[in-house]
Amino acid sequence: MRRSPTSTAPRATRSSLATRINGEAAGNVARAAAELGAFVVQLSTDYVFAGDATQPYTETDAPDPRSAYGRSKLAGERAVAASGAEHAITRTAWLYGAGGKNFVDTMLGLAQTRDEVSVVADQRGCPTWTGHLAPALLEVAERRASGVHHLVSRGECSWYELTVEVFHQAGVSCRVLPTTTEHFPRPAPRPAYSVLSAARDDAVLLPPWQEGVAAHLNERVPA
């Protein structure tokens, strides 16, 4: 049977699957870890927040997700917290690095075939290189630093500003034109402002996001 154009079944199915993976499965892993006395590091996201703030979200700010993905990740946070396992919930954002598609590499690819690109300038966040995130996660685990952590590169920017910096560091001459979110509609809403800040006294601090860009470019194209 052909589905009606207004049918919500596919979206509902995706939402349910996301909750099972990001929520229920995370709880299952944490309960198993509790039986073994293992420390759990739960990887979460900036999407657990509404994205309408005017200052960075800290670890103590109340989550208020606006998308199915954000709700599923918050369900995972709560499942891990209720599991009885000693745990840390680590939120990160705007990830890029080796091993998969990412925004930085996509922009560099477009620059090879275009004279200019238009990039959203009204969404702000913390671009975080996975090469900086990975050792930070290990440090949290080794210290058994329980509670909520915000693990993102220091500083903030828009996707437009990130692209300008990437092209500058890479020596790319492609022009970058600012545009707005409404010109790039997506199935799921992206937070307009999802800047995270580490306010814990024992916070694990990552380098500035510009250093992450430099490290990624160096890794991507060895000197």
**pLDDT bracket for residue 222 (50, 70, 90):** low
Two tokens at 28? 């299952």
The set of catalytic residues is 69
Two tokens at 6? 């207004």
Other C-beta atoms closer than 10 Å to the C-beta of 8 total 10
The H or E element spanning position 4 is none
Nearest CA among 134, 39, 141, 44 for reference residue 89: 44
Q: For the domain made up of 9-220, give the CATH fold.
A: Rossmann fold (3.40.50)
What's the predicted TM-score (pTM) here? 0.89
Q: Between these two residues, 39 and 189, which has the higher pLDDT value?
A: 39
* Amino acid 99: pLDDT: 85
pLDDT tens digit string along 68-99?
999 999 999 999 999 999 999 999 999 999 98
pLDDT tens digit string along 175-186?
999 999 988 766
In angstroms, rounded to a whole number, what is the distance separating the alpha carbons of residues 109 and 156?
Answer: 23
DSSP string, 111-170: HTT-SEEEEE-S-EE--EEHHHHHHHHHHHHHHT--EEEE---BS-EEHHHHHHHHHHHH
Contact 48, 65 (CB under 8 A): yes
Is the predicted pLDDT of residue 5 greater than 70, yes or no? no
Contact 68, 18 (CB under 8 A): yes
Q: Between these two residues, 197 and 190, which has the higher pLDDT value?
A: 197
* Amino acid 188: pLDDT: 67
Integer angstrom CA distances of residue 191 from 49, 81, 170 = 8, 25, 28
Is the predicted pLDDT of residue 61 greater than 50, yes or no? yes
Two tokens at 178? 């600012």
pLDDT tens digit string along 101-118?
999 999 999 999 999 999
Bridge partners for 42 per DSSP: 89
Contact 206, 132 (CB under 8 A): yes
